[in-house]
A = this chain, B = another copy of it.
């Protein structure tokens, strides 16, 4: 009997925003897998868990998780290949012992989580082949939902369309999204804040746009885009641009 690998969304930060399913599974799993040596991932996801669940009797499996940006369709660099493969080896070893492994991830696992890379490699390294690997994904509350909730605004109503893009994305694509979508969500907006604000001003969208810093976390802050010029924003900052 091999174990199951649970990729568990723990929500945006407030431990109360973990689902009941996440709490149950994290309590049940004897092994909790966390990335080591990352800038943002580790401490946040694990600290959310720790505020609700005692991890004293758990085995904490620290794996090295490459933070280099990759796309699944890119050719993998040898460094990434090696890192994913050895992370998967470590997880597979526990699963082969018949122990369930939980991988808590900030927000929702399907939404910009690196956990998917690990799940993708797992079958390749598993001793008896992919048919024996059981992976379960437990959805969670995204930072986008928490951002809109904090701002007291809907992301979408009725027949509206929503686009989600990293704010680093090329200006033309951003402009295109602003023009043809009812709501545009910009992730990690801190990197390009001033350019975005300028563009919004030109399009007359500044007044209806909101920035949410650390949504669903301690220190959550809702800032009007029209008052955001020259503000230094946290890494966890999301902008919601709504047309109406």
Contact = CB atoms under 8 A, between A and B. Distances in A.
A108 interface: yes
Interface stretch (A88-96, A124-132, A145-153): A145-153
Contact of A137 (B12, B152, B180): B152
Contacts of A148: 110-111, 137, 139
A69 B111 CA distance: 29
Interface string A133-146: 00101111110011
Interface residues of A, number: 66
Nearest to A137: B149
Interface stretch (A37-45, A159-167, A227-235): A159-167
A160 to B, nearest CB: 7
A22 to B, nearest CB: 9
Contacts of A24: 16
